[in-house]
């Protein structure tokens, strides 16, 4: 087994800063300049790995133009927009660093904190997790919903997913290799990061407003991500559906017994259909809810059985060949 990279000289170690990009032409020049400043502060060699997730603007062209000025930049382009989780997965598969720092392109997570993260890695941490102390520039409702979601997810999940954290973190090579070895295609990376464990150090920071451009996360995309997170790491919704079914059956049975009792003892029959409609509507709602929850899990199984690649690579600037290749974990 090879020796730990921490036993080697800093100049022989490589740190990959991984930045997934989708239609971020307004912020690409800003993040490149700020990352260049970070590179100059580190003793290690640095690879600035941008993963273009099928951008339809000039993001990829801008990154290519910056390579002449900043040779540390490497660009991987996907064939289309596969989504952030797939783009990050691609970056983790292609990152060459002894440690990998994951950073969003919007610069809400300050890259100037990377030297502090690297310092903790030098001290022996497998993972350096960045926890948000505040979230500047975000609507109150979004802050509230994010806070509530992560607490609900932790309640439902069998794994402890850190609260108030995003993707901003440093992972050593052992952690990255462990994540790359996981076979599932439906990926909720925050959960996978927590699932692999590893020795973790947590630093707190104040999240900044977006540097430029607009967020690509619509309300429905956030809801979809939330559903992915819950169904990826918990079967408690299925148990909830079972409990609701038992409650509904109990209520319906109790109501039927009560009506029978009233008819036999008091000779009272229920006029009209109001009570019947209430029960039927309630039971139908519970059934549809349970079917929907079950459908989410069946759908995930269906996607997994097709074993399609998580992403497809159009080009890698470190490779002289521009032929399309794919990458997927088939273990």
State the sign of the Cα–Cα–Cα–Cα dihedral 311, 313, 316, 319. Answer: positive
Q: What is the mean pLDDT of residues 45-69?
A: 91
Residue pair 6/83 in contact (Cβ under 8 Å)? The answer is no
Contact 17, 49 (CB under 8 A): yes
**Which of 43 and 147 is assigned the larger pLDDT?**
43
CATH number of the structural domain 12-214+308-327: 3.90.550.10
Indicate the helix (H) or strand (E) that contains 127.
strand 127-135
DSSP line for 4-57 = PGGGS-GGG-EEEEEEEESS-TTTHHHHHHHHHHHHHH-SSEEEEEEEE-S-SS
Strands in 152-234 per DSSP E:
165-172, 200-207
Rounded to whole angstroms, the Cα distance separating 134 from 207 reads 6
Structure tokens at 193: 């990061």
Where does the pLDDT of residue 136 fall: very low under 50, low under 70, confident under 90, or very high at 90 and above?
Answer: low
Report whether 89 contacts 53 (CB < 8 A): no
The Cα 223–Cα 59 span in angstroms is 26
Tell which wins on pLDDT, 143 or 174: 174
C-alpha–C-alpha distance, residues 331 and 327, integer Å:
12
Of residues 134 and 310, more confidence is placed in 310
pLDDT-derived band at 328 (thresholds 50, 70, 90) equals very low
Write the Ramachandran bin of 85: left for phi over 0, alpha for psi from -120 to 50, otherwise beta. Answer: alpha
Question: What is the per-residue pLDDT across 203-256, written as a single tens digit (0 to 9) for each?
Answer: 988 876 655 556 554 556 556 656 666 666 666 777 777 777 777 777 766 776
Whether 99 and 15 have beta carbons less than 8 Å apart is answered as: yes
- Angle between helix axes 84-94 and 173-180 (nearest 10 degrees) is 120
Supply the pLDDT for residue 40: 87
Residues whose CB is less than 8 angstroms from the CB of residue 41 and which lie 6 or more positions away in sequence, other chains included: 115
The pLDDT mean for the chain works out to 78
pLDDT for residue 128 is more than 90: yes
Strand locations in 145-191 (E): 165-172
The Cα–Cα gap between 130 and 193 comes to 13
Vertex 110 angle, CA 167 and 310, to 5°:
30
pLDDT, tens digit, 9 for 90 and up, residues 70-124: 888 999 999 999 888 899 999 999 999 999 999 988 888 889 999 999 999 999 9
Q: Which residues of 189-212 are buried (b: 16+ CB within 10 A; e: fewer)?
A: bbbbbbbbeeebbebebebeebbb
In this predicted model, which residue has the larger pLDDT, 303 or 176? 176
Q: What percent of the chain has pLDDT over 90?
A: 25
């Amino acid at each position: 087994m090879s020796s730990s990279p921490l036993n080697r000289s800093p100049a022989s170690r490589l740190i990959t800063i991984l930045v997934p990009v989708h239609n971020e032409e307004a912020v690409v020049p800003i993040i490149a300049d700020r990352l260049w400043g970070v590179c100059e502060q580190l003793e290690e060699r640095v690879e600035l790995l941008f993963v273009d997730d099928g951008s339809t603007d000039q993001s990829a062209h801008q990154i290519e133009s910056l390579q002449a000025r900043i040779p540390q930049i490497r660009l991987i382009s996907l064939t289309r927009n596969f989504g952030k989780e797939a783009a990050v997965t691609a970056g983790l598969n292609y990152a060459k660093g002894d440690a990998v720092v994951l950073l969003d392109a919007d610069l809400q997570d300050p890259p100037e904190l990377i030297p502090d993260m690297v310092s903790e890695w030098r001290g022996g941490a497998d993972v350096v997790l960045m926890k948000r102390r505040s979230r500047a520039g975000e609507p109150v409702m979004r802050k509230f919903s994010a806070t509530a979601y992560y607490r609900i997810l932790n309640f439902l999940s069998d794994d402890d997913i850190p609260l108030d954290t995003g993707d901003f973190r440093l992972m050593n090579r052992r952690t990255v290799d462990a994540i790359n070895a996981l076979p599932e295609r439906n990926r909720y990376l925050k959960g996978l990061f927590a699932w692999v464990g590893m020795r973790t150090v947590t630093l707190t920071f104040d999240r900044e407003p977006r540097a430029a451009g607009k967020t690509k996360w619509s309300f429905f995309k956030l809801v979809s991500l939330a559903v992915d997170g819950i169904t990826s790491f918990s079967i408690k919704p299925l148990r909830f559906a079972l409990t609701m079914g038992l409650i509904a059956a109990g209520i319906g049975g109790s109501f039927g017994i009560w009506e029978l009792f009233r008819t036999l003892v008091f000779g009272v029959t229920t006029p009209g259909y109001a009570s019947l409609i209430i029960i039927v509507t309630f039971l139908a709602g519970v059934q549809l809810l349970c079917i929907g929850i079950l459908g989410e899990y069946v759908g995930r199984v269906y996607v997994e059985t097709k074993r399609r690649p998580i992403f497809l690579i159009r080009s890698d600037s470190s490779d002289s060949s521009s032929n399309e290749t794919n990458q997927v974990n088939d273990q």
